[in-house]
Every structure is written in C-alpha cells, then in structure tokens.
Structure 1
Amino acid sequence: MSQAPAAPASTALAEDPAERPSRVGSLDAARGVMLILSVSAEAVLAPRPEAFVHTKWVGLHYYDWIFPLFVTLSGCGMAFAFRNHVRWRRNARRALVLVLAGLAYNYVAAPERGLADLRFTGVLQLYAALVVLVALLHHWLRSARAWIAFTLVWSGLLTLFWFAVSRDCVGGMPQPTCNPTLTVEGAWLGGLDHLYRLGKRGFETEGILGILGALSIASAGVVVGHLLADRHRQRHTVARLLAWAATVAIAGWAFAQVVPALKWLWTPSYGLITATAGVLLLTLAYAVVDTGPHRAIGYRLAYPLRALGRNSLLVYFGSHVAMMIMLRLGEPSLPERLSAKLGWTGHPHLAWVIASVLAWWALALVLDRKRIYVRA
C-alpha cells in the first residue's frame, strides 16, 4: 500500500491534462471501465448464465474476456513504467509480493489441499511473471515499433509451437487431455499435486506455457503505452491506435485458422482476439479523456472512472477474494441473503450486482481522496 503526497500539482482534480508529463488519464479511465465489467461479472449469483462462466474448451464467453482486458491494460501501464528505465529491486519485490499473495489466495480458495498439495500456479503468479518479463524485454525493446514486431513474431512462433505439438490430437488441435502443459509444469513443480485441480482436468492453465501465451496479450498493451507516450506524433495517435487494433484483430483471426482461440491454454489467437478489446477501450478513453478540443472537460468528467482505475489491483483481485469468501459464509450464502433483502427492487440478483459495483467504487473514491493506492 502506498500513500501519495497530500496535494501534488500533477494529480490535482482540476489539473489541465495538457500540462501533464504523461497521458495516463485515459489508462486510469479504461481501467475503471474494466473494473466495472469485472466486479459486475464476479457478483453474478447462481444459477449463472452461460455468458458468465468460462467456456468449457473451444469458443469464448463474455467471462473469458475480463482477465485478458486486465492484462492488456496492465501491459499499457508497464510501458509507462518501464519505457525510460526499470527499477529492478522494486520490480523484484513487486513480483515476490504478487507470488506470495497468489499462494495465499490458493490456500484460502482450496484449504482442503493443505500446504502439502498447495497449488503453486495462479493468476497472480502469472501476472507477476508478466511484470518480470515485460521489464526484462524493455532492456532491448524501447519503442512502439519494436514491440509491434515482438508481439506479432512472438504470437506467430507460439502458434507454430501449438500446431506442432497438436498434430496427433483429435482434430489436429489441442484437447483437454492432449496438450503438453501437465508434462511441462509437472516437471518443474514436482508433479501434478501442485497444479490446477491436481491435474485431473488434463491441463494447467497458468503455468509456464500460460505465461508465455499471456505475454502476447500484455505486449499488445505495451504497444499502446508506447504509442501514447510518443510525443512526436501526437496528432496521429488515435489513427495509430486504431491501426494497431485492426492489426491485432486480423492477426488473432489469422492465427485462429491454425490453432483455435483456447482460453484454457492461452493460445495466441485467444490472446490477440481478446487484446483487441483492450486496445479499442484504451483508444476510446484516449479520444475522450486525453485529446481533442474538449479534453479538459472529458478529463474532469472521467474522474470517477479514473479514481476507480487508480486502485485497479485492489478492486480487481479484492472483489474476487471477497466474493469467494462470502459465498462460503452460511447456507444460503451471505450474497444470497443480502440479495434477498433487496427483493423490494423486483430484481434482487441484479440489485446485488449493482450494489457490489457501487460498494467497490465508493471505496476507490474514498481511497483516491486520501491519496491511498494499493500496489504490489
């Protein structure tokens, strides 16, 4: 957790965005939108519609777009953080905190496994690895052009890898029980006992191969960050962002013709297709908040979203943890009991979703007013 100085000119509410050294207003606003989508999706109570559960294997549901959106926006933020230099000690500490938090989350999520069979992989561990990888890559890749080339080449190589290892699988594509993830992850994690569902589903979604796949998504966001930071071509930023969104979408579609978009394996087609949504969201936020003749008005009006987005790590993962714990409290669960008290609205489950979003939003606003931000 960090607390910013009381009233720095660079973060004042009435600040003119034209005077800011870097354009992060659009990033925070985009994060705010992402968090509304994330918290609302997580708060949906059973029976959850198909759109609000992960796809079984092939295809994409609404729920499958949320975390890639977070990763894309995080990639954009990393570009701002690492474009000039990388604070290696701080970055290592950040990654360590994320890994430890991920292990703690896994223990709370499945206490019956105990420490002996504790799952070592997870979304926080995956995110920690991305932070380290993007920082390392910034030692060589310092421009939007370099990151564009990396994103496309890396995604292409990964597609070839998945194609090569899946030729003997049914349909010539990876299957739940025909993929190399358990072999790869089990080899360095000491067997299947520390993997997703103890390896019983036939795959590990957030191990080394998952991290390498998610890197395609993060790098697509890194490109956006470098495009936004390019002061020499500000007049063409929106056009360049739209061109990048189109490139990512086309590449994702093309790679999907070779290896399908598989959420559980983070295939490059899945990564780029879902990253397109993040690039478009950032483009829209930039157009409204950080550019144009009315950007000062847009920047001020977007304050609620920016305040929410500034505590994205807390709200994103905190809402997941809180919901997981509340669903275990009593029978019916605490969320079910609370939603029942909203029966007067006529739509208690919808009212619960709205109340959840407003509660986290209110917390973020209070923390922003106090200039308190939870960071790894």
Structure 2
Amino acid sequence: MDLHVSKSPRLVSLDALRGFDMFWIIGGEHLIHALAELTGWPVMVWLSAQMHHTVWNGCTFYDMIFPLFLFISGVSLPYSLSKKIELSSVDYAYQLPKVVKRKILKTNLRRMLILVFLGMVVNGLFKFNAYENTRFASVLGRIGIAWFFAGLIHLHFSLRNQLVWFVVILIGYWLAMTLIPVPGFGAGNLTMEGSLESYTDRLLLPGRLHSKVHDPEGILSTIPAVATGLLGIFTGVFVRSKTFEPQKSVYFMLIAALALIVAGLVWDGFFPINKRLWTSSFVLFVGGWSLAFFAIFYLIIDVTGWKRWTFPFLLIGTNSILIYLAVEGMIGFDHTAQFLFGGLVRLAPDRFEELLKIMSIILVELSALYFLYKNKIFLKV
C-alpha cells in the first residue's frame, strides 16, 4: 500500500460509478433519511426505506452497495492488465507468459492481504481486544479475497472456461446450501442459525462473528462472491474488446442486465435472494443491477461525453479505499464539520439542523478528497 501520483488513463465512468457507490456510505444514506424526515414526501420516504439492509431475505438498494463495489473491482481488472497484454502481443489474459502471470499474481496476492489487514483494522484490530472478541471477517477482506480468486480464474482460463467456473460456483453453492445437512437443523435450512454458511462460520471462522451465530462476510459465502467479481471481469473484457460500437455495446449490456435480474428473480423461488448468505440468486439479481448501473454510466459519460456532473463522484471514486477507511472511524469528519460549521448550523431553524449537519460533514469529506485529487495523491492498494 502506498500513496502515489497516478499517470495511467482511467475509464471515467468506472471511477464515477465507484464514487456514486461509495457516496451512500460516506453520508448519502443519512442525507436521504434527513430529507425524508424533513419533507415527508412519499418518494423520499421510499428512498429512505431503501437505505437500510434487508433483515434477511430480499434486497434493497443499500444491499447492492457492497456487491456493486466488488463488481466494479472486477471490471477494472482487464483494464489494469491491458498494458501487459499489449506488450505481450496476446489477446487474452490467460495467454500471457508464465513469468508475467507470476508477477501479476504476486501483486494481486499482496493486494488481497493488504485489504484483509485493512478490514481487520476497521474492525478494531488495534484495540487489542481478546482473541475471542476480535472479528476477522470484513467487507474489505471479502473484496480482496473474492477479487483475487476471480482474477486467478481470469488469468488461467479461457473466457469459455471462466463462464464454466461462474456457473459451477453458483450451482455448487446452491446445492451445498440446500443438500448438505447441518447438525441440529438438517439440510436446506436457510435461516441465520441453521444455514450451512452460518454453521461453517461457527465451526471454522476464528474470533467473534458479526451476529454471534452468523457472519455476513463469512467463509462459505465468500465463494459465490467470486462469481460477482467474475461478472465484473466479463463486463470489463467485453467493453475493452470494442467488438461493437460503444452505443451498441450499451444495448447488449442492458439486455444482459435484464436477463440476469430475471434469472435472479426466478431462482429466488428456490434459493431466496439474500445478501447475508450471498446466495446464487443474489449474485444474479444484484449482478444484473450492477451491470445496468455501469451501462448507464458508461453511456452517459464515456459514450456521450457528458462528464462535468461526475466530478464529486470522481473525487470519491479515485480514493475510495482511503475515504472508506476514514469514515469507518479513522478520521472524525463530524468533529471537523462541527468545528467549522457548527455555529452556522445552530443559526438555522431546528427542523433543518440534522440536514445541515449531514451536508456539512459531506462538504468536509469532499474538500479533503479535492485536496488529494488536486495534488494527484491516491491510495494505491
């Protein structure tokens, strides 16, 4: 991990979408809640309800934020490998020389380990709690692990075999979750206490589980998360290949997105859409929405060239890991906002106070990100 000056060209829509995704974590969700409370408008109340995780089965917009980020990481992989592919005079990553693959895998492994470590830091690693009170699973850890293994498949198998891996992972996870019996619960129990995923976490995951009997970033459910990363990789390969003109590529992506969403809804009848278990139907359903989001951003930004509106999202997206670490407790943006804007907030009518507090925090966050962006300082993992 290091701070560096970025010189390589980037897909603007990808950075903007990453920023859009992270915006909801750094304050967007609280902004919607405050607006719903202030206005009472039905649309805002509905949006506010979408800014909460589903308790168990089902899916809200907020449930899509995590897998969308992993999908985006997958899309970026073919672009990060593009120079190595061009220099090696090959068409696909799996055709790269072994010596190049080894270097890439070493870099990817390093990235995975750093993300696992940073995830543990976010969980309070340096609070030095007792071993049994330390949570080892994390959002960043899952992103690192799933991205690494999706990349491993991408580097060693043809596109056709990557698709086989994708299907095998989803069907294999479904069969395992529905056919392998759990002591005391039997087979096919998909509750928090009785699922195979939860049982595996209790059996194998060290330290503290997020929900005592279950961890949403547990061991077994990380396997289908690899398929989420693969969906992103397929998208990145498709767009980078430029097989079709950009506008036609968008149409194909939207059709594929619709097909994935429908497939996820159909599978939901047999294997419920569930973020905590990262079910196969969840992979398809949210993967479809992720692809749709990317296609729309790609159309607006990279195809039509309408980019100015994306600047706040670019500030977030080009330093997404850094701002995530900051808002998860490493930096007190709320204290800074209170110091700078607290007096002005108190001058406003009481009903606007919560909204203005949130807006001031977001302004401080964006100002810090602007300083880093202006000086070309980015956290590279």
TM superposition score normalised by structure 2: 0.78
Is the contact made by 1:166 and 1:174 (CA closer than 8 Å) also made in structure 2?
no
Is the contact made by 1:173 and 1:259 (CA closer than 8 Å) also made in structure 2?
no
Residues 82-126 of structure 1 deviation map (CA, whole Å, 9 limit, x = unaligned):
4645522222221121122122222269x4843453222111211
Residues 252 and 304 from structure 1, CA distance in 2 versus in 1: closer, same or farther, beyond 3 angstroms? Answer: same
Is the contact made by 2:178 and 2:187 (CA closer than 8 Å) also made in structure 1?
no
Is the contact made by 2:178 and 2:189 (CA closer than 8 Å) also made in structure 1?
yes
Partners of 2:115 and 2:374 in 1: CA distance: 26
Residues 117-154 of structure 1 deviation map (CA, whole Å, 9 limit, x = unaligned):
322211121112113202211123454x6555543443
Gap runs ≥5 in structure 2? 38-44, 86-92, 94-100
Structure 1 residues 113-122 or 25-34, which shifts more? 113-122
State the partner residue of 2:257.
245
Structure 1 residues 156-165 or 298-307, which shifts more? 298-307
**Which residue identity lines up with residue 17 of structure 2 in the other structure?**
A
Partners of 1:340 and 1:185 in 2: CA distance: 48
SS of residue in 1 equivalent to 2:155: coil
Shift of 1:322: 4.8
Partners of 2:197 and 2:71 in 1: CA distance: 23
1:280 counterpart = 2:280: no
Is the contact made by 1:107 and 1:114 (CA closer than 8 Å) also made in structure 2?
no
Gap runs ≥5 in structure 1? 12-22
Relative contact order, higher structure (CA 8 A, sep 6+): 1
Is the contact made by 2:26 and 2:327 (CA closer than 8 Å) also made in structure 1?
yes
Is the contact made by 2:22 and 2:317 (CA closer than 8 Å) also made in structure 1?
yes
State the partner residue of 1:289.
301
State the partner residue of 1:64.
63
SS of residue in 2 equivalent to 1:264: coil
Residues 338-360 of structure 1 deviation map (CA, whole Å, 9 limit, x = unaligned):
87962516422222333333332
Partners of 2:294 and 2:24 in 1: CA distance: 15
Pick aligned residue for 1:306 from 309, 314, 329 = 314
1:342 counterpart = 2:345: yes
**Which residue identity lines up with residue 373 of structure 2 in the other structure?**
D
Pick aligned residue for 1:174 from 180, 190, 195 = 190
Partners of 1:154 and 1:317 in 2: CA distance: 31
State the partner residue of 2:328.
320
Partners of 1:67 and 1:82 in 2: CA distance: 24
Shift of 1:179: 1.1
State the partner residue of 1:266.
278
Partners of 2:181 and 2:56 in 1: CA distance: 15
**Which residue identity lines up with residue 211 of structure 1 in the other structure?**
T
Is the contact made by 2:318 and 2:378 (CA closer than 8 Å) also made in structure 1?
yes
How many residue pairs match? The answer is 345
TM superposition score normalised by structure 1: 0.79
Is the contact made by 2:322 and 2:379 (CA closer than 8 Å) also made in structure 1?
yes
Shift of 1:249: 0.8
1:40 counterpart = 2:57: no
- The within-5 A match list for 1:180-259 is 180-190=196-206, 194-197=207-210, 200=212, 202-235=213-246, 236-259=248-271
Pick aligned residue for 1:30 from 6, 10, 17 = 17
Is the contact made by 2:227 and 2:283 (CA closer than 8 Å) also made in structure 1?
yes
Shift of 1:308: 2.7
SS of residue in 1 equivalent to 2:69: helix
SS of residue in 2 equivalent to 1:368: helix
Partners of 2:259 and 2:367 in 1: CA distance: 37
Shift of 1:246: 1.5
Shift of 1:27: 0.6
Is the contact made by 2:116 and 2:144 (CA closer than 8 Å) also made in structure 1?
yes
Shift of 1:218: 1.9
**Which residue identity lines up with residue 162 of structure 1 in the other structure?**
M
Partners of 2:150 and 2:238 in 1: CA distance: 16
Is the contact made by 1:32 and 1:306 (CA closer than 8 Å) also made in structure 2?
yes
Structure 1 residues 268-277 or 314-323, which shifts more? 314-323
Partners of 2:28 and 2:134 in 1: CA distance: 27
Pick aligned residue for 1:107 from 124, 134, 149 = 124
State the partner residue of 1:18.
none
1:134 counterpart = 2:139: no
Partners of 1:173 and 1:183 in 2: CA distance: 11
Structure 1 residues 307-316 or 340-349, which shifts more? 340-349
Residues 303 and 62 from structure 1, CA distance in 2 versus in 1: closer, same or farther, beyond 3 angstroms? Answer: closer
1:163 counterpart = 2:168: no
SS of residue in 2 equivalent to 1:36: helix
Partners of 1:212 and 1:338 in 2: CA distance: 45
Pick aligned residue for 1:89 from 91, 106, 122 = 106
Structure 1 residues 348-357 or 222-231, which shifts more? 348-357
The CA RMSD measured in Å over matched residues stands at 3.5
**Which residue identity lines up with residue 102 of structure 1 in the other structure?**
G
